[in-house]
Amino acid sequence: MPGNSFGHIFKITTFGESHGKSIGVTIDGCPPMLDLTEEIVQELMDRRKPGGSKASTGRKEKDKANIVSGVFEGKTTGTPIMIFIENKDAKSRDYSEIKDIFRPGHGDITYQKKYGIRDYRGGGRSSGRETAGRVAAGSVAMQILKSENIEIISYTKEFAGIKAVQFNLNDISKNPFLCPDMEAFKLMDKEVVSAIKAGDSVGGVVEVIVKNVPSGLGEPVFDKLDADIAKAVMSIGAVKGVEIGNGFEATKLRGSQNNDEITPDGFTSNNAGGILAGISNGDDIIVRIAVKPIPSILIEQATVDIDNNQMKISTKGRHDISPIPRINVVCEAMISIVIADHILRQRTIS
Amino acid sequence: MPGNSFGHIFKITTFGESHGKSIGVTIDGCPPMLDLTEEIVQELMDRRKPGGSKASTGRKEKDKANIVSGVFEGKTTGTPIMIFIENKDAKSRDYSEIKDIFRPGHGDITYQKKYGIRDYRGGGRSSGRETAGRVAAGSVAMQILKSENIEIISYTKEFAGIKAVQFNLNDISKNPFLCPDMEAFKLMDKEVVSAIKAGDSVGGVVEVIVKNVPSGLGEPVFDKLDADIAKAVMSIGAVKGVEIGNGFEATKLRGSQNNDEITPDGFTSNNAGGILAGISNGDDIIVRIAVKPIPSILIEQATVDIDNNQMKISTKGRHDISPIPRINVVCEAMISIVIADHILRQRTIS
Amino acid sequence: MPGNSFGHIFKITTFGESHGKSIGVTIDGCPPMLDLTEEIVQELMDRRKPGGSKASTGRKEKDKANIVSGVFEGKTTGTPIMIFIENKDAKSRDYSEIKDIFRPGHGDITYQKKYGIRDYRGGGRSSGRETAGRVAAGSVAMQILKSENIEIISYTKEFAGIKAVQFNLNDISKNPFLCPDMEAFKLMDKEVVSAIKAGDSVGGVVEVIVKNVPSGLGEPVFDKLDADIAKAVMSIGAVKGVEIGNGFEATKLRGSQNNDEITPDGFTSNNAGGILAGISNGDDIIVRIAVKPIPSILIEQATVDIDNNQMKISTKGRHDISPIPRINVVCEAMISIVIADHILRQRTIS
Amino acid sequence: MPGNSFGHIFKITTFGESHGKSIGVTIDGCPPMLDLTEEIVQELMDRRKPGGSKASTGRKEKDKANIVSGVFEGKTTGTPIMIFIENKDAKSRDYSEIKDIFRPGHGDITYQKKYGIRDYRGGGRSSGRETAGRVAAGSVAMQILKSENIEIISYTKEFAGIKAVQFNLNDISKNPFLCPDMEAFKLMDKEVVSAIKAGDSVGGVVEVIVKNVPSGLGEPVFDKLDADIAKAVMSIGAVKGVEIGNGFEATKLRGSQNNDEITPDGFTSNNAGGILAGISNGDDIIVRIAVKPIPSILIEQATVDIDNNQMKISTKGRHDISPIPRINVVCEAMISIVIADHILRQRTIS
């Protein structure tokens, strides 16, 4: 059954496999008269590309975004915006040896059980490459956020077991892990180097903050803003947990500590993470996302083949050591899509 | 815009406010020929009722489930099943003093900002009472799970800051907090007594385990099984976080530790919580849910009224000290609805 | 699979069988602050009731609309509006003899084949009684239309094979068939009397006109305004055809005759029926609906029972001789729901 | 708001403008393991191409279907199938003169009113070219129908005011208008020649028959099979009416004439057109579709420009004289999509 669409008004549908001709997205429901060019999309796409980071893959795809429809003379027209990215760098020969074997931690086994067939090349549809379409769509969503003066930032809160303690906004772009704490970064870097040497991988926690969100976004009772955000980020491969505001920490507090008191100038604290009863309260929206270590590792592990024979496997080839930091912009994109969708939803009752 | 429906094939739509005539749910898409009676629904409803627990409200509603349609001679017919519960015990006079004032931690302020009007009586639509419809629908979903031999259990993993260390299935029903560790329960009880004395409230963590789920459930890429579960539980009031499998713990592990190796007899561990690439892998599905302390407390807190004047408020009247343990069955209900929905979704491709 | 919801923003979900406890509707997505009372709903409900017309049933249900939720102090609140109508007059004993036999022209045989079970009492879910929920929802939609100054009228264009030639708006309410031509009415009446004597039934054509619809409503390409209207009316039992503007007549014209020329003051004709490329053009929306004769007749006809044995059946009991004129207000209600939905949809891009 | 998707399980989303880079469709929800190649898609696409018919355009697009995703080694994989067609033959210079003027009978004026912007080149999104994506999707739907042994045929029932009286299946492919009556074809041809000489255009009626549809397809109460078919065909540009079975003719009959009597071997007639109470009854599904004359004509007509100045316009350039016969395969495609969708929907309850 269909599961490749997301959003209700600002609605995206993605397509494509890692090693097919191309991957992409169709955005339906975007309002007309927004500025949109391939350059605007490309700017966000470039933040997802493998870069100088030790954590990132050597795969050198030029993820060039092509706008096919829905834009006329630099403006959106209200009709579907299709954006695709060619899969130029795909080498099918790299993957022939995993044709009949299931990589631990990957979707190989579950896709096979679900469908009885799968495009095994590079993980097919379950590849992280699928997120390119999400980022392209996110760039369009961000044009809506921008028009409402909403800002979104993301950074690495924890990486390879090391927490960021300081928060210096300017530091985020100064290190390849997008960590707002240069001291923590140095410790993270040591851990990453150690993991690389061991042929292993690492995970971490991404935090996204959305500023200037008007109060009133979110729909009772199932399409709460936090419920939609939770689904949005949990739908990204490698994500295993999500928190809003102080999240799991709230469970240890008493109500008197956890409640955000209210003054004529606003809330005195933001444990709620900007959302009360599923509706934005005007404060910053705060989301934390648990990212597991990438399952592809050089270390040999036990698995089975398609006939359930015991096998050993170690993943060769080019691979990121962690979904972080490339996943960070994907989290931003997905949350931007949720916010854009709810901005448009709110218009229906005003 | 509509936000009161959940599910794609097994689709529920809830209605009702805390102090309106009644609350309830319509279930569309339930297959015919399943056993269904008011007694079956009532059995689950009774697990949500305020009970012997110190943590629960004195409000003595008899939450009697009435099946209005979609059932004929004890069997579902395939047509919409409407179930409602009367609001017999509602006392509107209890709430007149909060008509123009926003309770901290509640949706009063956000509903007012969103709609410009709200049924302030008992929290209206944002009341925890809304979950009665979810539980009624959950009881129907569980008939589908039962027909597939799937089992679901929930318990309190952490309460008032105290973690359960042991896991004894039989202990769950032996204490009012539904904790699987009687030693931990005693410590929890002390903390709850202390919080009650202080006029305060507490939170905790609920864990849900689903057993015997067939592999293959879940849809790439946005309607992943874990993404739908995350939305399902995050849409319950008071929930601030959700984890699948080892969740946030996974972020500290290396890939070699976090990957579940595979043998001809199954996985050697279950860090994934039964879901790989958004699709069930046949292992137990494990979900942990962060529940904040109930915001209604006797301790006075700062807030504003509808004209933004600074006020003080303390919540009088009958209130639970925590959403736990009543929320536990709501979590089970919502996850059952997700599983039932994906069971039916999977039929479309087989 | 779910099929009991209609609309995208103004979204209704109906429930109930002819002889169950009650039937009704939940409306999700209605904006807040609209006037709504049970009297407003009742006014439209009363137009559906069996009346002085020879064509209508003797069944004397008092279709009293009860608003359960979503309204507070006479205003909508933005939360789901549930409205139900009790089935007071249902007599199950009337229907025991058709338990295992399929009435020609009815859904008995197809429901049985689809579900393997059916509530045979009074047609169950396939009864015309199901439309009561549609009319209740239509009354709410009409409050949105009213707020935009949009008017909707319906009348009987053709009945029992007799066409209305004149159009006198005032005549519509002067005859029980809601015909705008008193001369035609007299001929219709003769035919109806003849059909009643023969124990037979008749059909006809309903026309609905919507005035003051702003231009711009309707979504490319599948959710065209006329496509949604076609679905809306074709989903009413007994409807077998629908036309927009000059409809089938257009197929005989040349382009030069059928095109509506445009002047600075508007279109010079309205062959398009107010819709161009699926989007309203500001002119009157004109819809014609083909209504088949009611299948329940006293004349004996061939059929089979549940075991496929050849049988004869004639329908005893109280029955309308035609869906017209009671179906007319149902057509109005459904088209109002479509227009209301598209008014709210249009807000998302403006 | 989104309106470019159709279907619930077999769900298609189209994109593209007449003169953009390409047009296409993404199909989500197609089951895995169906045979699918570009040749299979192309075969249906070729039936939509402008051909030897006098009625068709000289525009010589090579509508080559490209499958981008969702197919692996000649089989569907269960993931989204994206198919696109390049717009090779588009000449933007042909359309510069209609940039600021609204062609009568076209969507120019309504798109402009709705969005405040439009891609005026070749009609942009409102062009008949948009149906290429529908036909591509229809070819995939037909693979599902084929797997269930369902057959679908279409033909021209009436053209340029001339009705087909005979029905000879073999004649359909023997004349360019796809008419099953060679005598009628000759009269049609005369009318078409006359219209071409006059610089005018013509319309007609298409009939589609679906054979071997199992009973039980269609969902009460809004997603009736006939309601979904009505929407499907009414969403095709140029369609102004739709009938099921004997349609408007039924309104003139008495119940005793219109009811299809039932015998152990099936129905004795098929006035219902294969659908009872919105659910297929196992008989042939019969749909008739009213197609208006193409609005682009050489004859000069009155219109206004974007500033509401009175203008005259006659459409130069290459144009079909009628949507028929090219629209016939589009009707088949849309109805196939509805049937495929309901086949998959029915699986959720069996």
In this complex, do B29 and D344 lie within 8 Å of one another by their Cβ atoms?
no
The reply to whether A310 touches chain B by the CB within 8 Å rule is yes
Cβ contacts from A onto D, under 8 A: 144
The reply to whether B344 touches chain D by the CB within 8 Å rule is yes
Cis (ω within 30 of 0) for the bond into D221?
yes
Calpha distance A98→D175 (Å, rounded):
54
The pLDDT assigned to D319 comes to: 77
Q: Indicate which CATH number applies to the domain containing A245.
A: 3.60.150.10
Question: Which of A258-272, B240-254, C144-158, D310-324 is the least confident region?
Answer: D310-324
Which A-chain residues 17-56 have CB contacts (< 8 A) with chain B? none
Residue B335 has pLDDT above 80, yes or no: yes
In this complex, do B279 and A245 lie within 8 Å of one another by their Cβ atoms?
no
Please state at what angle helix C326-347 crosses helix C38-48, rounded to 10 degrees.
140
| Chain D residues within 8 A of A66 when measuring between CB atoms | 21
DSSP class of residue C254? B
Question: Which of B73-87, C281-295, C307-321, D267-281 is the least confident region?
Answer: C307-321
| Chain B residues within 8 A of A204 when measuring between CB atoms | 251
Residue B61 has pLDDT above 60, yes or no: no
Which domain, by its residues, includes A134? 5-347
Q: Could you give the C-alpha distances from A45 to A29, A36, A48, A333, in angstroms and in order?
A: 21, 14, 5, 10
Which amino acid would we find at residue C55?
A
The reply to whether A107 touches chain D by the CB within 8 Å rule is no
| DSSP strand pairing (A310-313 vs A301-304) | antiparallel
A125 within 8 A of A315, measured Cβ to Cβ: no
Token readout for C33 is: 């602050």
| Residue count (chain D) | 350
The reply to whether D344 touches chain B by the CB within 8 Å rule is yes
Calpha distance D103→D127 (Å, rounded):
12
Question: Which of C50-64, C145-159, D315-329 is the least confident region?
Answer: C50-64
Calpha distance A160→A240 (Å, rounded):
15
Confidence of residue C109 (pLDDT cuts 50, 70, 90): very high
In this complex, do A248 and B240 lie within 8 Å of one another by their Cβ atoms?
yes
Residue C98 has pLDDT above 90, yes or no: no
- Dihedral-angle region of residue B125 (phi above 0 means left; psi in -120 to 50 means alpha; beta otherwise): alpha
CB count, 10 Å around CB of C83?
Answer: 29
Chain C neighbours (≥3 Cβ pairs under 8 A) are: A, B, D
Residue D296 has pLDDT above 70, yes or no: yes
φ, ψ of residue D186 in degrees (nearest 5): -65, -40
Mean pLDDT value across chain B? 94
Q: What is the mean pLDDT of each run of 10 residues along chain A (350 residues)?
A: 97 96 98 98 93 57 90 98 88 72 96 96 94 98 98 98 97 97 98 97 98 98 98 98 98 98 98 98 98 97 97 84 97 98 96
For residue D294, give every residue at least 6 positions away whose Cβ sits within 8 Å of its Cβ, in sequence order, or none.
Answer: C255, D201, D203, D238, D319, D320, D321, D322, D323
Mean pLDDT within C2-15: 98
Instruction: Search chain C and give the residue with CA nearest A343.
Output: C348
Find tokens 């006020």 and name the residue. B311
Calpha distance B268→B239 (Å, rounded):
31
Instruction: Search chain B and give the residue with CA nearest D345.
Output: B348
In this complex, do D348 and B350 lie within 8 Å of one another by their Cβ atoms?
no
Confidence of residue C57 (pLDDT cuts 50, 70, 90): low
DSSP string computed for C141-203: HHHHHHHTT-EEEEEEEEETTEEP-S--GGGGGGSTT--S-HHHHHHHHHHHHHHHHTT--B-
Cβ contacts from A onto B, under 8 A: 371
Which amino acid would we find at residue C305?
D
**Which of B9, B79, B220 faces D348 most closely, judged by CB atoms?**
B9
Q: Could you give the C-alpha distances from C116 to A205, C14, C47, C107, D350, in angstroms and in order?
A: 52, 22, 36, 13, 10
Calpha distance A338→D271 (Å, rounded):
49
D240 within 8 A of D292, measured Cβ to Cβ: yes
Which D-chain residues 53-92 have CB contacts (< 8 A) with chain C? none
In this complex, do C304 and D203 lie within 8 Å of one another by their Cβ atoms?
no
Calpha distance D50→D54 (Å, rounded):
10
The pLDDT assigned to D222 comes to: 98
Cis (ω within 30 of 0) for the bond into B221?
yes
Q: How far is A66 from chain C (nearest CA, A)?
A: 23
In this complex, do A32 and C349 lie within 8 Å of one another by their Cβ atoms?
yes
Instruction: Search chain A and give the residue with CA nearest D78.
Output: A115
**Which of A113, A242, A262 faces B230 most closely, judged by CB atoms?**
A242
Residue C64 has pLDDT above 90, yes or no: yes
Q: Which of D285, D259, D307, D348 is nearest to D109 (CA)?
A: D307
Token readout for A326 is: 């490339």
Q: Testing the interface with D: which of C114, C192, C301 to mutate, by most D Cβ within 10 A?
A: C114
Three state DSSP letters for D226-266 = HHHHHHHHHCCCCEEEEEECCHHHHHHCEHHHHCCCEECCE
Q: Which of C164, C275, C266 is nearest to C219 (CA)?
A: C275
Token readout for C294 is: 């009611």
Token readout for B199 is: 């006029």
Helix (H, G, I), strand (E, B) or coil at A247: helix
Most confident of A85-99, B173-187, C90-104: B173-187
Calpha distance D91→D89 (Å, rounded):
6
The pLDDT assigned to D61 comes to: 54
**Which of D79, D220, D344 faces B348 most closely, judged by CB atoms?**
D344
The pLDDT assigned to C92 comes to: 58
User: What are the strands, taking DSSP E only, across A166-298?
Assistant: 204-211, 239-244, 262-263, 266-267, 275-276, 279-280, 285-291
Helix (H) or strand (E) run with residue B135 in it: helix B131-147
| Chain D residues within 8 A of B345 when measuring between CB atoms | 348
CB count, 10 Å around CB of B333?
Answer: 30
Q: Could you give the C-alpha distances from B274 to A52, A303, B201, B218, B269, in angstroms and in order?
A: 35, 16, 33, 11, 10
| Chain D residues within 8 A of B349 when measuring between CB atoms | 31-32, 78, 344
Alpha helices in chain C (DSSP H): 38-48, 108-115, 131-147, 182-197, 225-234, 255-258, 326-347
Confidence of residue D165 (pLDDT cuts 50, 70, 90): very high
The pLDDT assigned to B319 comes to: 77
The pLDDT assigned to D62 comes to: 75
Instruction: Search chain C and give the residue with CA nearest D321.
Output: C255
Helix (H) or strand (E) run with residue A87 in it: none
Per-position b or e across D120-149, b if 16+ CB within 10 A of its CB: bbbbbbbbbbbbbbbbbbbbbbbbbbeeee
Residue C319 has pLDDT above 80, yes or no: no
Helix (H, G, I), strand (E, B) or coil at B72: strand
The reply to whether D277 touches chain C by the CB within 8 Å rule is yes
| Chain D residues within 8 A of C243 when measuring between CB atoms | 240-241, 248, 290
In this complex, do D15 and A124 lie within 8 Å of one another by their Cβ atoms?
no
In this complex, do B1 and A349 lie within 8 Å of one another by their Cβ atoms?
yes
Per residue in D19-55, pLDDT (tens digit) is 999 999 999 999 999 999 999 999 999 999 876 555 5
Calpha distance B284→B280 (Å, rounded):
9
Residue B318 has pLDDT above 70, yes or no: no
Per-position b or e across D243-269, b if 16+ CB within 10 A of its CB: bbbbbbbbbbbbbbebbbbbeeeebee
Question: Which of A153-167, B88-102, B116-130, B313-327 is the least confident region?
Answer: B88-102
Q: How far is B83 from chain A (nearest CA, A)?
A: 18
Mean pLDDT value across chain C? 94
Number of domains within chain A: 1
Calpha distance D30→B176 (Å, rounded):
48
In this complex, do C292 and D260 lie within 8 Å of one another by their Cβ atoms?
no
Token readout for D227 is: 């309601």
Q: Name beta bridge partners: C280.
A: C275
A258 within 8 A of B292, measured Cβ to Cβ: yes
In this complex, do B349 and D78 lie within 8 Å of one another by their Cβ atoms?
yes
The reply to whether B122 touches chain C by the CB within 8 Å rule is no
Cis (ω within 30 of 0) for the bond into A325?
yes
In this complex, do C78 and A349 lie within 8 Å of one another by their Cβ atoms?
yes
The pLDDT assigned to D315 comes to: 81
In this complex, do A264 and B310 lie within 8 Å of one another by their Cβ atoms?
yes
Mean pLDDT within C292-312: 97
Q: How far is A208 from chain C (nearest CA, A)?
A: 26
Calpha distance B102→D3 (Å, rounded):
39
CA D148 from centroid of its chain's CA atoms = 22
